[in-house]
Amino acid sequence: MSPGRLAFAAAALALLLTRPEPGVGARRLTVRGTVVLEEGAGSAPGDLRGAVVWLVASGDGARGRAPEPRADTILMRDREFEPHVVAVPAGGTVAFPNRDPFSHNVFTNADPGPFDLGLYRRGATRAASFARPGVYPIYCNIHSKMASFVVAVPTRWVARPAADGSFAIDGVPPGRYALHAWHERAAAEAVRPLVVPGDAPVRVALDARAYVAAPHLNKFGRPYAVTRADRY
Ligand SMILES: [Cu+2]
C-alpha cells in the first residue's frame, strides 16, 4: 500500500472526538466517520456526496430541543435540479426557483407529504415545507429526467459526506445515539448505535448491490408521455 493510500485508509477509519468547543454551555463534540456504499461487481466506486448522515438521540435526555426550522434552495437550471440532494431538519422549507427559459412543475408523491407546486415560469420561485421526517423524491411533471431528493431528518445533527465518504457532525452532546445513513441507491437506510464520546471507528455501510435505475411515474401516477419537451 502506498503512503498516500495508507494515509487515506487511516483517515477514513479514524473516529476523532475533538475537545469541546470553547464557550459556555454543555460539552459539544464532533463525530467523524466514513460512509461506504457497497456496489455491485463492476460498478465504479460511488461519489458519496449524495449521501446523508444524521444522529438521533436514543438514551436518557433524548428529549432535546426541536431542531430550528431551516430554509434551503434547489435551483432548476438546464432541466436539472441543483443540488441533487438536500437534507433539512423536519419542519424546514425548500424553495425551487426556476432559472430555465421554460416552465417546470415540481411535485412529489412521497408518503410523508405529497405536494404539487404547479407549472411556473422562469424567474418564479415556489416553495414547499417538509413537516414530517422522511425521504421525498422530487420530480418535474414535464421533464421526466429531472430528479432530486429532500431528506427531512428529525434532528439538528445532520451532515453530508465528502466524495470519499468522510463526514463530520458538529455540536453533539455526549450521550447515546442512533447513527443513520441514506443514499438514493441503497436498498435501505443504515442504522447503527453510537455512543458519544466513543473510541471505535464510525463506519457505516450502505448496500447498493441490488440497485437498478428505474423510471419514475408522473404526478398522476402514470408513465410520462414522450413529448418534444422531454427530449434531451
Ligand atoms: Cu421541468
pLDDT computed for residue 66 by the predictor: 66
* Residue 47 CA to ligand 1 centre (angstroms): 25
Q: What domains sit in the chain, N to C, each tagged with a CATH number?
A: 27-65+155-219 (2.60.40.10), 68-154 (2.60.40.420)
* Residue 232 CA to ligand 1 centre (angstroms): 11
* Residue 36 CA to ligand 1 centre (angstroms): 32
pTM over 0.75: yes
pLDDT computed for residue 68 by the predictor: 75
* Residue 80 CA to ligand 1 centre (angstroms): 8
Mind listing the pLDDT tens digit for each residue in 129-181?
Answer: 999 999 999 999 999 999 999 999 999 999 999 999 999 999 999 999 999 99
**Each residue of 114-139: b (16+ CB within 10 Å) or e?**
ebebeebeeeeeeebbbeebbbbebb
* Residue 49 CA to ligand 1 centre (angstroms): 24
Q: What is the mean pLDDT of residues 88-101?
A: 97
